[in-house]
Amino acid sequence: MKRRRILKRKRKRVVICLALMTLMAMGVICVGVLANSYTLPESLSDNSVGENPGADSGTVKLREGEEEMDDEMLKPITEYFETYFQATANLETTDITALFEDPFSENAWINQSAMDYLIKMRLNQSNDLKMTDYQCGLTVTSINEEAGMVEVTLFEDHTVNFAFIPDVVSSSSGIAHTFYLDKTADGYVIAKHYKEEDSFLMLEEAVADSYEEPEVVAEDLLDNSLSVVEELSSEKESFNSGEVESWEPEVDNEYDAVAAIDYAMRWVDPVEVVRNDEKFGVYDTYGGNCNNYISQCLNAGGIPMDYFGDVNTQWKWYGEEIDLDEYETGRSPAWAGVEEFYTYANENDGYGLEAIVDDNVYSGSVGDILQYGQDDEWLHSVIITDVVTDSDGNMLDYLINSNTTDRINYPASAYGYSELRLIKILGWNNGE
């Protein structure tokens, strides 16, 4: 996820500066390796939309963290997550501002609007994105008292089962939260809350960048997003009707999508934040680690680093510093940059990656790349781990893995971003 501009803007408008949190790195989980990168597992091939029995079994629990927290301080935070997850599980908006010291503050309103935005986006998707179950874990990383207020920073992880794929466990981790608590006669209450996740950051930035009233900004953002969702729905119908034709050029060397997904599963975890920092850089606090992660996956799938050409046709990581010399030195912007990688995939010729961009977004396969955007700004790259179809073979959705936020087997349609484009990874050429 692209974060640099958002974080810079947030520092400008928040009175109390938010501390940058150090991402934890430990533990590795391998969720599974696909036997054939273009063949769906039987467990997913017959998934279809069904009724949602409800998510009454969901829980929110405190994990062992760097800081211990007393029950009185934990109570309003737990209530926040319970309220949020019940609302998003059932896709029924509820009043979350009642948990805030000032329910009419801009921050309380942004929390409410970000939740409502995500609920309305999911309700307008063709898949049933209610949750049949959820489990949420909270890891507290710091507790600081200043000027009569308590600042609590924590990481959220969660696993959910979405109604249209009830047997699939979709996980997210590394979601950073900062709560500011005030002590009152009745106990602690939330004064402010900030969250590092797509819909919250998107709405907060839109409000900060506009002269319009916040309510108008939120309505415009939702209207624009829903129009894009409608366009994507039509694109899916075109693909499923067989109207889409695609031409794929020959390549000298095939892409090993199985190896790419194996790597993608190894370097993400449902609870901890894990990074291959012994071999590559880490960019979570420098705009997001998402494209760095997918570049590593493609490299693991046999796509070689490419130091030939100019800024638009190099894709390499040999060190932290940007270096466009045609040598095995430094890195190119396309390795960790979302839009820069798209440019490389589109313009590279000769040696290196062979890809197709902007085909029908639902014509992708396991190992291909999806990019998310909002208002024509492309912000986030993910790798496809599976293609979900119904009993008739119609394409329903993709499952994806990502970094920043870290996700495993997460439905592509469940994101808050509305715009979506596909980069088909075909293989690589020798350039001779």
Full DSSP string of 310-373: STTS-B-BSSSSB--SSSS-SB-HHHH-HHHHHHHHHH--SSEEEEEESS-TT---TT-EEEEE
Torsion 123-129-134-140 (CA) sign = negative
Residues 229 and 262 in one domain: no
Residue 112 lies in a domain: yes
Task: Give pLDDT, residue 1.
Answer: 54
Residue 38 lies in a domain: no
Averaged confidence pLDDT in the chain: 88
Residues 179 and 267 in one domain: no
The tally of CA atoms less than 13 A away on the side-chain side of residue 217 is 18
Which residues of the chain register pLDDT less than 50? 2-53
Residue 17 lies in a domain: no
**271: containing domain:** 253-429
Residue 11 lies in a domain: no
Residue 5 lies in a domain: no
Residues 337 and 188 in one domain: no
Task: Give pLDDT, residue 146.
Answer: 82
Residue 349 lies in a domain: yes
CA angle 110, 373, 352 (to 5 degrees): 150
Residues 202 and 313 in one domain: no
Residues 321 and 184 in one domain: no
- Torsion, Cα 287 293 299 304, to 10 degrees, reads 0
Q: Tell me how far apart the alpha carbons of residues 155 and 421 are, in angstroms, rounded to a whole number.
A: 29
Q: Which two tokens stand for residue 139?
A: 């890891």
Residues 202 and 83 in one domain: yes
For residue 48, how many other CB atoms are within 10 A of its CB?
Answer: 15
Buried b (16+ CB within 10 A) or exposed e, 87-108: bbbbbebeebbebbbeeeeebb
405 upstream amide cis, omega within 30 of 0:
yes
Q: Tell me how far apart the alpha carbons of residues 359 and 219 are, in angstroms, rounded to a whole number.
A: 30
Residues 141 and 106 in one domain: yes
Task: Give pLDDT, residue 17.
Answer: 33
- In contact, 172 and 158? CB cutoff 8 Å: yes
Residue 227 lies in a domain: yes
Q: Tell me how far apart the alpha carbons of residues 194 and 137 are, in angstroms, rounded to a whole number.
A: 17
In total, how many domains does the chain have? Answer: 2
